[in-house]
Structure 1
């Protein structure tokens, strides 16, 4: 998917592990505007954990994840951090394809 995205300039697979019933993936993708997307996914038959962190110059733009904290949110465990770690908002479960779509909208319509 990354190689077909017009938003991605280049990417590096930092870690990949696969078993009979799981995979773990960690990627750093450089985007066409110079920002970076850090991708982390763990997928198994019982579990799906994700973190998609979009940043520029080490400054957080948005991070979507489902770490099991922020139990007060209606979308728990799914949430996003916008602009800072402390600004936590509800978010639906999201895929990499959807994240790239959101980023594309931001880049094309700042």
Structure 2
């Protein structure tokens, strides 16, 4: 599925690397890096436990390794209305509400932000 999604965005992607891919029954652990044509990159972590519990992190940085945005569901910002889903915009402390996101949603959002 991820490879199919990647093909949809190939004109924006320079390269990608799977740094971890383990699947055992309904459990999945995935880590990958996508390098974009604008020299930014996104580090992706997806963990699925027993087919439904999901942990994720999408960390997008610019060519100077500065944070652009990070989406995750770590339970570290309980005051955010969309807890545990949130995003960090341009800094670790600038935390905003987010939603439960999927790979294709993030890719669409990244491309939209890149092409503004």
| TM-score (ref. length: structure 2) | 0.88
**RMSD over aligned Cα atoms:** 1.1
Provide the rounded CA distance (Å) in 1 between the counterparts of 2:52 and 2:34.
Answer: 27
Is 1:86 aligned with 2:97? no
Provide the rounded CA distance (Å) in 2 between the counterparts of 1:29 and 1:3.
Answer: 12
Give 2:17's aligned residue.
12
Corresponding residue SS for 2:44: strand
Answer 1 or 2: which has greater helix percent.
2
Is 1:32 aligned with 2:37? yes
Q: Is the 8 A contact 1:7 1:100 kept in 2?
A: no
CA distances 1:26-64 after superposition (whole Å, capped 9, x unpaired): 001101111001010001324111001110121100000
Q: Which runs of 4+ in 1 moved over 3 A?
A: none
Kindly tell me the number of residue pairs found equivalent between the two proteins: 109
Q: Give unpaired runs (5+ residues) of structure 2.
A: none
| TM-score (ref. length: structure 1) | 0.93
